[in-house]
Amino acid sequence: MHFSTLDVPLGGEWSGELVTTTNVAGVELMTNLFSLWPVEDAPGRFRFTYRVLDLPPFLVRGYKLRVFLRDAAGKRSETDIPFRLSGRRPGPTPTPATDRE
């Protein structure tokens, strides 16, 4: 498993790639805020890109990221990973508008 980060800023992009055995039919990434299903590029190779929405401050904290792997028969395995939603990263400072006449 490779994730761009496990400390994702609000409004930021989060991506990852997962390499599994070829008998894995699907992968699900889940927290108590969201679930997403990476796309399978090739047998055993999954990827995703996700834009994290702006959230109220009380939801900016650590979570457990649950990674579920399912085979074609429906058998499931789970791995839990520490995951954090952090505040917005500071962006560029806006320049003040000036009046030109």
The tens digit of pLDDT for each residue in 60-86 reads 999 999 999 999 888 999 999 999 998
Question: In which residue ranges of the chain is pLDDT below 70?
Answer: 88-101
Return the residue matching tokens 């980060």: 5
Q: What's the CA gap between 19 and 42, in Å, rounded?
A: 10
Other beta carbons within 10 angstroms of residue 83's beta carbon come to 19
Q: Kindly report the CA angle at 45 between 25 and 41, in degrees rounded to 5? A: 90
Q: What's the CA gap between 95 and 76, in Å, rounded?
A: 52
Q: Kindly report the CA angle at 26 between 22 and 18, in degrees rounded to 5? A: 65
Which amino acid appears at position 19 of this protein? V
Give pLDDT, residue 12.
87
pTM: 0.77
Return the residue matching tokens 């990674």: 67
**Structural domains in the chain, sorted by start:** 2-86 (2.60.40.2450)
